[in-house]
Amino acid sequence: MDHRCYRLLLLGAAVRLYLSFTSLASLIGNRVEFATPLNSYKRMQEGVFLLKQGIDPYRGDLVHETPLLLKALSNILINYGEWLPLIYIILDIFTAALLYLTSKRFVEQKLEEQRIEQSSYANDTKELQYSNIDRGDISLMVLLAYLFNPLTVMSCIGLTSTVISNLFLAMFLYAMSRRQLLVCLLMLAFESVRSLYPIVLIAPLLLLFARRSISLGIIIFIIFALACMAVACANFFVMNSWNYLDGTLGFIFNFRDLQPNIGLFWYFFTEMFEHFRTMFLITFQLNATVLYLVPLSIKLRKEPVLLATVLIALMSVFRAYPSLGDVGFYLALLPLWRRCWKFMAHGFVVFTFFLITLSMMGALWHLWIYAGSANANFYFGATLGFCTGQIFLITDLLFAHVKREFCLHNGQKIIINGKEARILLE
């Protein structure tokens, strides 16, 4: 990392540290857009207190963090409680540094791929190809997009455990870029046992390490299953009980807490007749996990990093308890696909969706909960619009990738009746 990177990391840490000592920190910790039943600092505090009193925190329906992480955080809270904001800031800065290193490695791999495939590229595609200048520019954009995105900053100062989830995902992506299979599987197993949905990221790993070998893919899948079992057993030994499985994975799958958030689950399950619940629960969970997995894996079989990015984005939209911190993480990965931006046609629409819906959420929540002059429909309308904007962004990125691949090999111009015409893909 160069001196610019270090200065940006220090500036990002300073911004977070300053905001941690303002009233904004406590406000964010109470906002449903950032704090969910899974990542709330208050719920984690309650779990630490129960653990300290020798009470199983998973007997009730309040604590949903895994025992390993709860035990680690309890030691920090008991012995170094006043340093907790600083610890969260360090973890978040480390996440940014990992994304920076991942992006540099990604560009290097793209340049190597282009060197091999150069002969098959059309002559007028120079602007669509990665260049040496991207080594610094893309990495810098990724770093800036994570460090100074208000969504990631607020998630950090609110002490949400999304900071820890982002760290594990960043470690997974970095290990993936370095082709470190065992590290990838361990990070993925730990995060999958915590929050269920990252289990779908086994697909890009299989495409990366076992694209041409079914037997190797089976071996990788077995190792991943064993890693998940090892993490689950480690959690068992902390509590000497399997109750935590229902309090974590069972809680996520069954969606027992209807607290509003930026996702789609809460409103539908509030309004739904109870005898339809099981059917819709399975449908929603399939939509959040496996529904898009096979078609995307087939289409993006040569782009495992893009597949991982899209799956992380879809998780942030369709998971049971999403938060804005999840959204901030995948937004930081978008500069990796800078050479696709030329074909992204809905940038202004997506930006407008994000700006308006994020602004409306706070106002409509106040009108609903405090002023009593609105209802759940108002707030859900804003969150639904926000989810729609995210879907526009994801599909726009996918279409842009397909258009870029076509133009790379066929050119941006074609000959019609002896005359040159430009392909209208923008």
Question: Based on the structure, what is the number of domains in the chain?
Answer: 1
| Closest CA relative to residue 204, chosen from 225, 193, 188 | 188
Q: Label residue 262 by pLDDT band (50, 70, 90).
A: very high
Domain that holds residue 10: 3-254+263-422
Per-residue pLDDT tens over the stretch 81-126:
788 999 999 999 999 999 999 999 999 999 999 998 888 888 878 8
Per-residue pLDDT tens over the stretch 300-342:
999 999 999 999 999 999 999 999 999 999 999 999 999 999 8
Lowest mean pLDDT among 5-14, 76-85, 262-271, 360-369: 76-85
Strand, coil or helix: 323: coil
Q: Is there a contact between 20 and 154 (Cβ–Cβ < 8 Å)?
A: no
Q: Characterize 213-236 residue by residue with b for buried, 16 or more Cβ atoms within 10 angstroms of its Cβ, and e for exposed.
A: eeeebeebeeebeebbeebbeebb
